Amino acid sequence: MEMVLLLAILGGLVAVAVGAGQTSKRRQLERAAAELEPVKRLAEEDVTALGVELQDLDIDMAGRELGPGENADYQRALDAYEASKTAAAGMSKPDDIRHVTEILEDGRYAMACVRARVDKLPLPTRRPPCFFDPRHGMSVADVPYVPPGGTLRDVPACQLDAERVRAGAEPDIRKVMVGSQRVPYWQGGRAYQPYAQGYFGTFGPMDWMFMGMMFNGGFGGLGDGIGAMGEGMGDMFGGIGDGIGGMFDGFDGFDF
């Protein structure tokens, strides 16, 4: 009798463990989907912005003769737009946005090359996008900036934002929704980190320790990951504990 009861308890433990694992997995998938949605929307907005810029370029180039170099750069920009649309549509996790922003950054540089060639100017030196909002295009200068709670660093800025910062005014910052608040994208959490890495990853002078601090990355990001892992383990073991408690409640009437 006791052996039968013991086997029943062990079988119940296995069933509870499997069920708790499935619950934990479902919660992880729900959490991943919740993180992906705003990041994917951010990618789509940036892709749309590049499309608008291409329309403006097309208007500006209307009636102007384009040589082989201009046409090659123009096609490169168009290809970048199409590739970024495909990449954004295929995103399955927040990290995928890095590939999207890498493509967008290359497309904007190609557009700058088209304008330079048409105006008979030297090809522009490749600089990172505007730190405050990468949709502003390629930066023109580095300006000192202190984010709230951060440290003074030189960051790349477009012409308008460089003038704003030098005048002591607020730059035009790209903001994202975090809960019910709009915050600068660099304060959006670890899900937005790949967004910036795609735009600024090849820019040596950009201090990634500084970026990690702004994104609550580094040890903070590790802490987030450990916290999420701990939460998942808590879900699983909590479910097991509940199941075990329920089973032993059922044996209250037995006298071992």
Give the tens place of pLDDT for each residue, 183-220: 999 888 888 889 998 998 855 445 444 455 555 443 33
Q: The pTM is what?
A: 0.70
Q: Average pLDDT of 95-114? A: 96
Reported as a pLDDT band with limits 50, 70 and 90, residue 32 is low
Q: Tell which wins on pLDDT, 110 or 7.
A: 110
Q: Which long-range contacts (CB under 8 A, 24 or more apart) does 209-212 make?
A: 210/150, 210/151, 210/153, 211/186
Q: Average pLDDT of 93-122? A: 95
Element (H, E) at 56: helix 2-61
d(CA 11, CA 192): 44
CA 66 to chain centre: 37
Q: Average pLDDT of 60-70? A: 91
Q: Tell which wins on pLDDT, 159 or 230.
A: 159
Give the tens place of pLDDT for each residue, 47-58: 999 999 999 999
Among residues of the chain, what percentage have pLDDT more than 90?
Answer: 52
d(CA 12, CA 132): 56
d(CA 239, CA 256): 26
pLDDT of residue 244: 45
Q: Please, what is the average pLDDT of the chain?
A: 79
Taking alpha carbons only, the member of 170, 178, 251 closest to residue 4 is 251
Q: Residue 153: how many CB atoms within 10 A of its CB?
A: 20
Q: Tell which wins on pLDDT, 226 or 45.
A: 45
Query: 184 is written with which tokens?
Result: 């600068």
Reported as a pLDDT band with limits 50, 70 and 90, residue 6 is low
SS3 content of the chain, % helix, strand, coil (to 5): 65, 10, 25
Q: Average pLDDT of 226-243? A: 45
